[in-house]
A and B are shown apart, each in its own frame.
Chain A
Amino acid sequence: MGVIDIKKIARTEQLFAPGHRACAGCGATIIIRQVLSVAGKDTVVGFATGCMEVVSTIFPYTAWEVPFLHVAFENVAAAISGVETAYRALKKKGKIKKKINFIAFGGDGGTYDIGLQALSGAMERGHDMLYICYDNGAYMNTGIQRSSATPFGAHTTTSPAGKKIPGKMQWRKDLTEIIASHGVPYVAQASPGYYQDLMQKVDKALSIEGPAFIDVLSPCPLGWYYPTKDTIKVAKLAVETKYWPLYEVENGVHRVTVKPRKFKPVEDWLKMQGRFRHLFKEENKWMIEHIQKEVDRRWEKLLKLEEAGL
């Protein structure tokens, strides 16, 4: 498709209806809207338990204008693999002719933690599907508990910043690289702030035969403690501070898709969010440096991989 013209897409039918019960300023619903506007009507969506499943399908209401399947927390990748296999069988018999996209969505809880086994299995079996993780970095739906996607130093209700610990003391798991190690044809990382990049990646992932995975940063005003109007600003700043590099791994080759001309210190991104407020106390200042070092290291590693054509 190349460059995506949103003026053209804005004329087409909306596939995610208003009236869903997501918080004001939710990042994940923006992601869903951007993804669906590329995927189009011939799409089957599966959703793991999480914020977006809860807010979009409160019985008897649904915000989805495409076939939607809600499964348990851990098995959305397995469920969509099954649907895709059934589709292939029907296609072989000539009962279905058209091409259908299969997209499984999960939050970071349902992807990094609980659904990792099902996801790994689906990737290895090579189903023609796309898995999208909207990563808001904690179990936001149940009240902001830490997950393995929560960044170092972040305050959550199960890693509370106080006298004992200054927030979460472990690094975030690098899931994008874990899935890339499966050797699947397409893996990418995206942010809704860079909609063009995100939508192009979805388009590419859907056109490629075989499994694809996209990890999308999903700002959450409730759990990250920032004003609702700043969702896109936070999503953009995460990229500009190297915290969330936008890159893709196509057939094992890394490519950084967005290289900001000027980088900002990671402090700017942390400052916007209340979950990192305690880092700015005198005794915790070392953590900001620590985060900056790690962010720089991961970025340099990525550039080296790209340069080496790996």
Chain B
Amino acid sequence: MKETWKELPIGAIIKEPGTSKRFETGDWRTERPVLDPEKCIHCMFCWIYCPDSSIKVEDGKMEGFLYEYCKGCGICAEMCPTKAITMVREEV
């Protein structure tokens, strides 16, 4: 963020797309999803149902989670057809 209000763009225009990536929401989480790559069939159900765009997909393969943003809602674990995702309590 810029230093004084004078440098802020007029009309609160945000000139850059997707800046929310700089705000990490991962610390909201009480449970974290953990992937068992052995069971994963890369069906992308977790990806299509994730509210936080936090499923890491590389080259069409499910490669885990973006823990910086994942809020730990547990939808992916619930919808996974092969039960490859389990929710584990976060420890401080």
Interface residues on B, range: 35 or more
**Interface-centre pick from B1, B12, B50, B73 (highest chain A CB count, 10 A):** B73
Mark out the residues of chain B between 41 and 73 whose CB falls within 8 Å of any chain A CB in the assembled complex.
Answer: 42-44, 47-54, 57, 59-60, 66, 68-69, 71-73
Residues of chain A within 8 A of B66, CB atoms compared: 18
Kindly identify, within residues 75 to 111 of chain A, every residue whose CB is under 8 Å from any CB belonging to chain B.
none
How many A residues are at the interface, by size bracket?
Answer: 35 or more
Closest CB in chain B relative to A297 CB, distance in Å: 32
**With A and B bound together, what is the CA distance between A20 and B66 in angstroms?**
13
Given contacts A18-B25, A27-B51, contact A7 B44 (CB under 8 A): yes
Question: Which of B28, B29, B54, B75 neighbours the largest number of chain A CB atoms within 10 Å of its CB?
Answer: B75
A7-B42 Cα distance, complex, nearest whole Å? 8
Judge whether A62 and B20 touch: CB under 8 Å: yes
User: Closest residue of chain A to B57, judged by CB?
Assistant: A10
A219-235 contacts to B, CB under 8 A, are 221, 227-233
Describe B's contact surface by its main secondary structure.
Answer: loop
- Chain A contact surface mostly: loop
Contact, CB under 8 Å: B71 / A61:
no
Residues of A near B72 (CB, < 8 A) are: 24
Q: How far is the CB of A221 from chain B (nearest CB, A)?
A: 8
Point out residues on A near B: beta carbons under 8 Å: 6-8, 10-11, 14, 16-27, 29-30, 33-34, 56-66, 192, 195, 221, 227-233
Q: Footprint of A on B, CB under 8 Å? A: 1, 8, 12, 14, 16-25, 28-29, 42-44, 47-54, 57, 59-60, 66, 68-69, 71-75, 77-79, 87
9 contacts between A and B (CB under 8 A): A6-B44, A18-B25, A19-B24, A22-B52, A33-B53, A61-B19, A62-B14, A195-B49, A228-B73
Apart from A10-B60, A63-B20, list 13 A-B contacts with CB within 8 A.
Answer: A10-B57, A11-B59, A11-B60, A18-B53, A18-B54, A18-B66, A18-B68, A26-B51, A29-B51, A33-B53, A60-B1, A63-B18, A231-B75
6 closest residue pairs by CB, A with B? A229-B74, A25-B73, A18-B69, A19-B20, A24-B71, A17-B18
